[in-house]
Amino acid sequence: MSQLLKAKIDTIEEGLRTLAERLREIEKAYQQMPQEAKVELELDPKEIGSLPWKLYREGHRSGWIFANQSRAERLAEAIRSSQNGRVKVGDFEYQFSGDQHKFISRRPLKEG
């Protein structure tokens, strides 16, 4: 085996070892995160945004959907499991509203 080939293989192996160690660090940090933060990381803002939100007022971004809306199950579960009954995902905060948590409402974290 040529010296050059051996050097390239050694470099690749060292890079893989470094990546594997970094992955272990990331996994450890994830395991130490509060459950609420993990859930928020797992929710997709685009998927949630594509739900059929009904706006409270024309031109505003605050709105609502039925809590039993198809494709909103993970969001509803995240709200249920949060300590304060609210979940922040992307540019919005979500919470239940209405009698018996019939709705999920959203409000922008900042207007604009």
Confirm if 92 and 108 have CB atoms less than 8 A apart: yes
Confidence of residue 38 (pLDDT cuts 50, 70, 90): confident
Together in a domain, 49 and 25: no
Task: Please check the confidence at residue 44 and state whether its pLDDT lies above 80.
Answer: yes
Give the DSSP letter string of 32-93: HS-HHHHHHHHS-HHHHHTS-PEESSTT---EEEETT-TT-HHHHHHHHHSSSSEEEETTEE
State whether 62 and 96 are in the same domain: yes
Q: How many CA atoms lie within 13 A of 57 on its CB side?
A: 3
Q: Are residues 10 and 23 in the same domain?
A: yes
On the question of pLDDT at 112 being above 60, the answer is no
- Residues facing 87 on adjacent strands: 94
Tell me the per-residue pLDDT of 45-97, one tens digit each, with 9 for 90 and over.
Answer: 999 999 999 999 988 899 999 999 999 999 999 999 888 999 999 999 999 99
3-state secondary structure 76-102: HHHHHHCCCCEEEECCEEEEEECHHHC
Is the whole model's pTM more than 0.75, yes or no?
no
Q: Note the pLDDT of residue 30.
A: 85
* Distant-in-sequence, close-in-space partners of 77: CB < 8 Å, separation ≥ 6: 39
Does residue 8 share a domain with residue 21?
yes
Query: Range of 13's domain?
Result: 1-32
The verdict on 12 and 64 lying in the same domain is no
Q: Are 19 and 42 part of one and the same domain?
A: no
